[in-house]
Structure formats: C-alpha cells, structure tokens
Amino acid sequence: MKSLGGNNSIEPRFVKKVDEGLDFGKAYTKAQAVLKDKPDEFDFGDKYERQEIAQDVDRVIRLKEKFKKERERKETKQMSTILEAIIFEQGELGEWFGENSFTIGVSEFDDFVNGIDMVVEFHEQDDLEMPPLELGIDVTFTNDTTPKFDGLKEQIENGELSTIKYFCDSTDVRGKKENVPEVIIGVSGKTTNELTQLWLEKDHDALPKYRIQIMILEQIRVQLIAFMSYAKLCDKDDLADIYESRLQVVNKIIAKKKELYDEVIPELDEDPVYFAIINYIREWQRDMDEQIKAKKKGQQSTTSHTKGRIPEGFTGKDVPSSGYY
C-alpha cells in the first residue's frame, strides 16, 4: 500500500498564491473569531488537579513556540485554522453534517497534543433523549497524512480510540471523553481558497451548493468503513460497533443530499488532497478485503478438518467484507 504525501505535499507559499485576490489576513482574523470560544483547560479544575492542568498548558505553550520558529509550519497551521473555522461554522449552520448535529470546539491541549480540531455531535432525530454520537475531526490541507493514519490504526490495534481530555459537549457537560472515533478531512489549498472567498463574501447561495460538504462526507464515509473493517480484522468488535454506528448516521445524511452528491461526486478526485486520502483508503481497503477472504478461507479449512467437531473459541461470526466496492 502506497503512502501519502512525498513530493506532492502542498507548499504553503504556493497555497497563498493560488488566488492573489484573497485577503488572507482578513480570513485568518475571522477564523480566529469563529474558534475563540474553545474550552479553557483551567475551567476543568473540578476534574483535574491544578498542577496537572498547568503542565498541560505549558506543553501547549512549548508547542506553539516551536511552530513559531518553523515559518512554513506556522503558515500551514494558519491555513488549517481557516479551513477548520469554515467547517466548524458551516457544518452546523449550513447543516453539512445533517439537521441534528452540532460542531464542538476542543481545547488547545486536545488540538495540539491529541490532534483533534473539532467534534461533530450527532443526535438521533427520532429520539433526542438518546445519547449523542461523537466523531473527532482532524482538518488538513496537506496530503502527507500517512503518519496520521498510522496513528489511528495503532489506536485500533491497542483497543482504544482517541481521548479528548478537556471535553465540553453541546449541553455544557464537561469531562474526559474516551473512545472517540476520529477521521481526517483534507482538501487542497486551491479548494480552500475558493471556499474561503465564498465565506468572506458571505455567499449564502453558493456555500450550501459548494462541493466541500460532499468531499467531507465522502471522506468520512470511506474512512469509517475502512476503520470498521480493520477493527474486525484486529478482533476489536467493540470498536467496530463504534465506527458502524457513525457510518449509519453518515449514510443517512448522504442519502438526504443525494442530488448534490450525484452532481459533484464525479469531479471530486480532481482535488489532489482529497484524491490522495481517498486513494490511500481504497488501496488499504483492498488489502483488508484480501485478508478478510484469507481469514474466511482459513476458517472454512479449519472447519472441514474438524469433521463436525466445533472448534474451540468459534463464535459463528465471520468478519464481513466491507461492501465498499
């Protein structure tokens, strides 16, 4: 399976030159305003010792100082912030994630240390009393995301998904949130600039029809399928169930946006970052499907040699194929 990135990574300086008419400073200022109400770590004094919180805050400060010294890393972070703010705002206001969803900001600690930019909280339309389903989002506009995917795979192998230490949900309930499934959302600098221009112009007619929401939903969909398959290959059925529950929600959202989905899906591969992520998942899914077939074949072979005897530990549950293709 090929890795992402390499020589195809988007250079920050190039990104800024895609559209010379884009007011980058104005966009970044607006993005900071949209994301300003993130949870404050010190507001969790009833959950953690003050010394522990102070150590976490100091860690964030050191990471920020490191980024300031790395000019290109700083520019990348600024562009990611703009994209994050647009998704955060329009994901809820524009119902990109469905009618009954909320976008929730995370603390700087969970952003810089745990690598989560925001959380989408899905609520059951027919029963709003049911606990919501959370999905962590990591936003990027670079296609060098192989290390990120390796980290998410490792979580599954270890049997524990992402943790949000300083989490505050849509009802202001605070505390640590564990086993949050996470996905990576990426689009190119060119797409980010086009979207940013519409955002700055407050083009409320064009934004709902822009292809970005389908790009986001499709990336979420294929990743949830792949992570679910991998969890089953790793015999982590509890984690597979977590991914499947989110997949069911996303499939329903896409079904409601079918007209827009059918219109824009053929052209989405033109975005190099989107294509890199989707293609990586496609190749990984093919590898897993082969492993699933081999596992089924091995189970069948074992069964045939037992001559009717039930193998020890057999549950009667084969790992299903992803159904992606």
C-beta of residue 60 within 8 angstroms of C-beta of residue 108 = yes
Mapped onto helix, strand or coil, the DSSP state of residue 171 is coil
- For the chain, give the mean pLDDT: 85
C-beta of residue 175 within 8 angstroms of C-beta of residue 3 = no
Q: How many CA atoms lie within 13 A of 169 on its CB side?
A: 16
C-beta of residue 139 within 8 angstroms of C-beta of residue 185 = yes
- Say whether pLDDT at 17 is over 50: no
- Say whether pLDDT at 325 is over 50: no
**Quick one: pLDDT band at residue 24, thresholds 50, 70, 90?**
confident
Of the chain, the percentage scoring pLDDT greater than 90 comes to 62
Place of tokens 């606990």: 131
- Report, as an integer, the average pLDDT of 75-83: 82
Instruction: Enumerate the domain spans of the chain.
Output: 23-301
Q: What is the pLDDT of residue 178?
A: 95
Q: What is the pLDDT of residue 308?
A: 45
Give backbone dihedrals phi and psi of 101, rounded to 5 degrees, phi first: -130, 155
CA angle centred on 276, ends 254 and 283, rounded to 5°: 85
Helix %, strand %, coil % for the chain, to 5? 60, 10, 30
- Say whether pLDDT at 322 is over 80: no
**Quick one: pLDDT band at residue 127, thresholds 50, 70, 90?**
low
Cβ neighbours of residue 74 closer than 8 Å, sequence gap 6 or more: 67, 68
- Report, as an integer, the average pLDDT of 217-226: 97
Least confident interval from 196-210, 216-230, 243-257, 302-316: 302-316
Q: What is the pLDDT of residue 318?
A: 42
Tokens for 256?
């409601």
Q: How does pLDDT run across 255-266, given as a tens digit for each residue?
A: 999 999 999 999
Q: How many CA atoms lie within 13 A of 195 on its CB side?
A: 27
Q: How does pLDDT run across 94-109, given as a tens digit for each residue?
A: 999 998 899 999 999 9
Order of all β-strands in the sheet with 101-105: 101-105, 118-122, 133-140, 182-186
- Report, as an integer, the average pLDDT of 129-157: 90
Tell me how far apart the alpha carbons of residues 149 and 151 are, in angstroms, rounded to a whole number: 5
Q: What is the pLDDT of residue 243?
A: 98
**Quick one: pLDDT band at residue 297, thresholds 50, 70, 90?**
confident
Q: Which tops the pLDDT comparison, 123 or 310?
A: 123
Least confident interval from 78-92, 173-187, 238-252: 78-92
Q: What is the pLDDT of residue 107?
A: 97
Strand 174-180, strand 162-168: pairing: antiparallel
Q: What is the DSSP string of 11-40?
A: PHHHHHHS-TT--HHHHHHHHHHHT--PPP
With CA atoms as reference, report the closest residue to 176 among 68, 286, 46, 307. 46
- Say whether pLDDT at 324 is over 70: no
Mapped onto helix, strand or coil, the DSSP state of residue 165 is strand
- Say whether pLDDT at 93 is over 80: yes
C-beta of residue 105 within 8 angstroms of C-beta of residue 33 = no
Mapped onto helix, strand or coil, the DSSP state of residue 311 is coil
Tokens for 53?
């919180």
Tally of helices (H runs) and strands (E runs) in the chain: 11, 6
Tell me how far apart the alpha carbons of residues 211 and 202 are, in angstroms, rounded to a whole number: 16
Tell me which range, 19-23, 133-137, 185-189, is most confidently predicted by mean pLDDT: 133-137
**Quick one: pLDDT band at residue 11, thresholds 50, 70, 90?**
very low
- Say whether pLDDT at 131 is over 60: yes
**Quick one: pLDDT band at residue 144, thresholds 50, 70, 90?**
confident
Of the chain, the percentage scoring pLDDT greater than 70 comes to 82
Q: What is the pLDDT of residue 91?
A: 93
